[in-house]
Amino acid sequence: MIKAILFDMDGTLLDTEGIWNKAWTAVEEKYGFMFDPKIKDSFIGMPKQKMLEIKDSIIPSHLDYDEIQKFRVEFFHEYTSSHPIEIKQGAFECLNFLKSKGIKAIVCTSTYKERAIPWLKDAGLYDYFDDIVTGDIVKVGKPNPEIYEITLKKNHLHADECLAVEDTTVGVLAATGADLKTFYIKDILDISNEAYAKIYKQLDNLGEIIKEIGGQENE
């Protein structure tokens, strides 16, 4: 019996990844350098810890990484002040269904608490969740499974009682690394072949989880 669904946030619940991509483009234009497109794509879903590890290899040495990060975040906030963050298709239907069935809904996001909580509140999603686990509590970000392992322990859950929902390669590898059956819903990019081989099922949107959970209840 499924007791909880563990949701990634960026690109899964909230349509934020495209905005972050616009912010990186603004960085390129302001500071006069270009990322290799493959490197830029790799930023999608990348936790802050990993970004700090590789910053010296992706940011020209004459530029200040902290200044660039500040500009990037300011761009995001300015953009979303006039373009509210959109909620992914089927989110409300799915979360209402889980609540009606007494199934826990939990967020497992690489985004830090100072951003994740306000974004979920602004989107009207915050009150649907039984727990929100954010990237600032882990030592190693996705694709390491630590955030999922912490979430399971914190909520007294076993992996076989839960399903995860992810949209990126690093997210899928983190969830499956914690032995979670994982739904994949494509956002901007396809996931790697390695990650795709590990998923439980690919869905088109969050609303399809209703049928999946209903089907399992009847098994």
Specify whether 122 is catalytic: no
Give the Cα separation of 44 and 46 in Å (integer): 5
The count of residues in the chain is 219
Same domain, 44 and 92: no
Same domain, 76 and 90: no
* Whole-number pLDDT of residue 218: 41
Domain boundary among 82, 112, 139: 82
Largest CA distance in the chain: 61
Same domain, 137 and 71: no
Residues 144, 114, 56: CA angle, nearest 5 degrees: 55
Q: Residue 172 sits in which domain range?
A: 4-16+85-217
Same domain, 47 and 90: no
Same domain, 159 and 55: no
* Whole-number pLDDT of residue 197: 98
* Whole-number pLDDT of residue 187: 93
Same domain, 192 and 117: yes
Segments of the chain with pLDDT less than 70: 215-219
Query: In the β-sheet with 201-203, what is the strand arrangement from edge to edge?
Result: 131-133, 104-108, 4-7, 162-166, 181-185, 201-203
Residue 146's alpha-carbon distances to 16, 42, 76, 151, 205, in angstroms, are 23, 20, 28, 8, 26
Domain boundary among 64, 82, 100: 82
Domain boundary among 57, 82, 107: 82
Give the Cα separation of 195 and 189 in Å (integer): 13
Same domain, 159 and 93: yes
* Whole-number pLDDT of residue 215: 58
- Express each pLDDT in 142-191 by its tens digit: 999 999 999 999 999 999 999 999 999 999 999 999 999 999 999 988 99
Q: What is the DSSP-derived secondary structure letter of residue 10?
A: B
Whole-model pTM: value is 0.86
* Whole-number pLDDT of residue 78: 92
Number of domains forming the structure of the chain: 2
